[in-house]
Amino acid sequence: MANVGFIGLGIMGKPMARNLLKAGHDLVVYDIVPQAIDEIMSEGAKGARSAKEVAEKCTFVITMVPNGPHVKTAVFGENGVAEGIKSGSLVVDMSSIDPGISREVGTGLKEKGVRFLDAPVSGGEPKAIDGTLAIMVGGKKEIFEKVEPILKQMGSTVTLTGKIGAGNVTKLANQIMVACNIAAMSEALVLATKAGLDPEVVFNAVKAGLAGSTVLNVKAPMVYGRNFKPGFRIRLHQKDLRNALLAAESMKVSLPLTSVVQNMLIDLMNNGKGDLDHSAIVQVIEQASAVEVKKI
């Protein structure tokens, strides 16, 4: 099995690292939170004191951090990956970031003789735990084929989508569809509830039809069950939609629905709800409609 470095042990990174351990890899981990390192070390990983140390010990390094600036710091900052990485090594960034930053990181590492893929994921914490994430990869085919078996130990689908940056463009497209789907579902359930219907009955009536979706199946029961424990946090989805809007602006693409949902997410964050699950989008519509979606 491979010697793998893993940087970023947050809500997604920690279960992803665990799945690599379960697959038998020798894992070297680092996070800015020492307790996260200790937790994974107690399960069999080796700890490092910096991203640089991870790169010194591994020729295959995965980064999984919140946003583009964090990736640049982890890779090119003081005691970062670039200070310790050997020529011929491979870095796979699995964070969800601006595609332009992915291309920037790839170019910077290429100058050091290091290969790079961007490989953001979708599925939230439950699928990270199960190892059934959807992984969207950007980069050269020959590099992708070498690491695909390892990526499949964290995801059920692993797809090469194009050149470096294409993985994150695909992820942004995914996040637009998820966010708008949740918003539409929220409007529908608020309407049904206000009309005196049981939202669970409405959900069961429509889920097998054209309106049915994975988003509906997962998020509708959370809404009418009033369970907003985060599988994917509002503040992280807001970050993704911001990156989508920035990318769209650079390409002169209109994203009117994304802009509306982005404003809903900002409203929730301003009301102290940024760490709720993104299904809490319904609360914006509930407040405007003076109704709460719940089982009758």
Residues of the chain with CATH 1.10.1040.10: 169-289
Angle, in degrees to the nearest 10, between helices 256-270 and 166-194: 70
Of the CA atoms within 13 Å of residue 108, those in its CB half-sphere come to 19
The segment(s) of the chain belonging to CATH 3.40.50.720 are 3-164
In the chain, what is the straight-line distance between the N-terminal and C-terminal CA atoms, in Å?
Answer: 53
| DSSP state for residue 164 in the 8-state scheme | T
Active site (annotated) includes residue 171: yes
Helix 199-206 with 214-224: angle, nearest 10 deg: 170
Q: Where are the beta strands (DSSP E) in the chain?
A: 3-7, 26-30, 46-47, 60-63, 90-93, 115-118, 121-122, 133-138, 155-162
pTM: 0.91
Beta-bridge partner residues of 26: 3
Give the C-alpha separation, 114 to 220, whole Å.
44
Rounded Cα gap, residues 109 and 42, in angstroms: 32
Catalytic residue among 171, 219, 239, 273: 171
CATH superfamily of 169-289: N-(1-d-carboxylethyl)-l-norvaline Dehydrogenase; domain 2 (1.10.1040.10)
Q: How far apart are CA 70 and CA 7, in angstroms?
A: 11
Tens-binned pLDDT, residue by residue, of the chain (296 aa) = 569 999 999 999 999 999 999 999 999 999 999 999 999 999 999 999 999 999 999 999 999 999 999 999 999 999 999 999 999 999 999 999 999 999 999 999 999 999 999 999 998 888 999 999 999 999 999 999 999 999 999 999 999 999 999 999 999 999 999 999 999 999 999 999 999 999 999 999 999 999 999 999 999 999 999 999 988 899 999 999 999 999 999 999 999 999 999 999 999 999 999 999 999 999 999 999 999 999 98
DSSP 94-143: -S---HHHHHHHHHHHHTTT-EEEE--EESHHHHHHHT-EEEEEES-HHH
Q: Are 116 and 90 in contact (CB under 8 A)?
A: yes
The dihedrals phi and psi of 65, each to the nearest 5 degrees, come to -125, 170
Query: Cα separation of 184 and 216, whole Å?
Result: 10
CATH architecture of 3-164: 3-Layer(aba) Sandwich (3.40)
